[in-house]
Amino acid sequence: MNAPANPGSPRPAQSLDSRFVVPGMRCAACIARIERGLLDLDGVEAARVNLSAKRVAIRHNPEVDSEFLLGALGRIGFEAQVVDLGSVSKDDGESRMLLRALAVAGFGMMNIMLLSVSVWSGAGGVTRELFHWVSALIALPVVAYAGRPFFASAVAAMRHRRTNMDVPISIGVLLATALSVHETVIGGEHAYFDSAVMLLFFLLAGRALDATMRDRTRAGIGALLSRMGKSARVLAEDGSTRTLAAEDLEKGMVMLVAAGEALAADGVVQDGRSAVDNSMLTGESAPQSVREGDTVHAGSINLGDPIHVRVVAASSDTAIAGIARMMDEAGQSRSRYVRVADRASRLYAPAVHTLALLAFAGWMIAGAGWHQSLVIAIAVLIITCPCALGLAVPAAQVVASGALVRRGLLVKDGSALERLAEVDTALFDKTGTLTLGEPVAAIDHLTPEQKAIGLALAQSSRHPLSRGIATAVEATGIRPASLKAVAEVPGLGVSGMLGEVPVSLTRGREDRAGLASILRIGSESVEITFTDPVREDATPTLDALRAMGVRSRIVSGDRDAAVEALAAQLGLVGEGEKRPESKLALLEALKADGHRLLMVGDGINDGPAMAAAHASIAPGTASDVSQQAADAVFLGSSLMPVAAAIAIARRTMRIVRQNFGFAIGYNVLAVPLAISGLVTPLIAAIAMSVSSLVVVGNSLRLAKTGSEP
Amino acid sequence: MNILAFLIPVALLLGGAGLALFFWAMRDGQFEDLEGAANRILIDEEVEREGSDGVEKETGR
Mind giving me the DSSP string for A278-317? -HHHH---S-EEE-TT-EE-TT-EE-SS-EEEEEEE-GGG
Q: Which residue has the higher pLDDT, A159 or A222?
A: A159
pLDDT tens string A433-484: 888 777 778 777 888 888 888 888 887 776 767 777 887 887 787 888 888 7
* Catalytic option among A166, A277, A413, A429: A429
Question: What are the CA-CA distances from residue B21 to residues A15, A380, A606, A612, B32 (Å)?
Answer: 31, 37, 46, 45, 16
Q: Do A50 and B26 touch (CB under 8 A)?
A: no
pLDDT at A232 over 60: yes
CATH 3.40.1130.10: does it fit domain A409-435+535-647? no
How large a percentage of chain A has pLDDT more than 70? 85
What pLDDT was estimated at residue A143?
94
Q: Can you name the CATH fold of A229-317?
A: 2.70.150
What pLDDT was estimated at residue A141?
93
Rounded to whole angstroms, the Cα distance separating A560 from A548 reads 29
Rounded to whole angstroms, the Cα distance separating A706 from A396 reads 13
pLDDT tens string A588-619: 888 888 888 899 988 777 878 888 888 989 88
Rounded to whole angstroms, the Cα distance separating A10 from A23 reads 30
pLDDT tens string A282-294: 655 566 778 788 8
A59 touches chain B (CB under 8 A): yes
Q: Report yes or no for ipTM above 0.85.
A: no
What pLDDT was estimated at residue B3?
80
Among A163-167, A487-491, A653-657, the range scoring the smallest mean pLDDT is A487-491
pLDDT at A140 over 70: yes
The strand pair at A597-600 and A266-271 is best described as unpaired
A4 touches chain B (CB under 8 A): yes
Substitution target from B42, B52, B58 for chain A, most A beta carbons within 10 A: B58
The strand pair at A301-302 and A501-507 is best described as unpaired
Q: Which residue has the higher pLDDT, A426 or A627?
A: A426
Residue A18's closest CA among A6, A30, A5?
A: A5
pLDDT tens string A682-708: 676 667 777 878 888 888 888 776 444
Comparing CB atoms, the residue among A52, A96, A110 nearest residue B26 is A96
CATH tag for A16-82 (out of 3.40.190.10, 3.40.50.2300, 3.40.50.720, 3.30.70.100): 3.30.70.100
What pLDDT was estimated at residue A1?
39
In the annotation, is A91 catalytic? no
CB atoms within 10 A of CB A103: 21
A124 touches chain B (CB under 8 A): no
CATH 3.40.50.720: does it fit domain A440-531? no
What pLDDT was estimated at residue A214?
61
Domain boundaries, chain A: 16-82, 92-220+329-396+655-704, 229-317, 409-435+535-647, 440-531
pLDDT tens string A250-298: 888 888 887 777 788 888 888 887 778 776 666 555 667 787 888 888 8
Q: Which residues contact A139 (CB under 8 A, 6 or more apart)?
A: A108, A112, A177, A180, A193, A196, A197
pLDDT at A222 over 70: no
pLDDT tens string A533-571: 888 888 889 999 999 988 888 888 777 777 888 888 888
**Closest chain B residue to the Cα of A44, Cα to Cα:** B54
Question: Do A429 and A241 contact (CB within 8 A), yes or no?
Answer: no
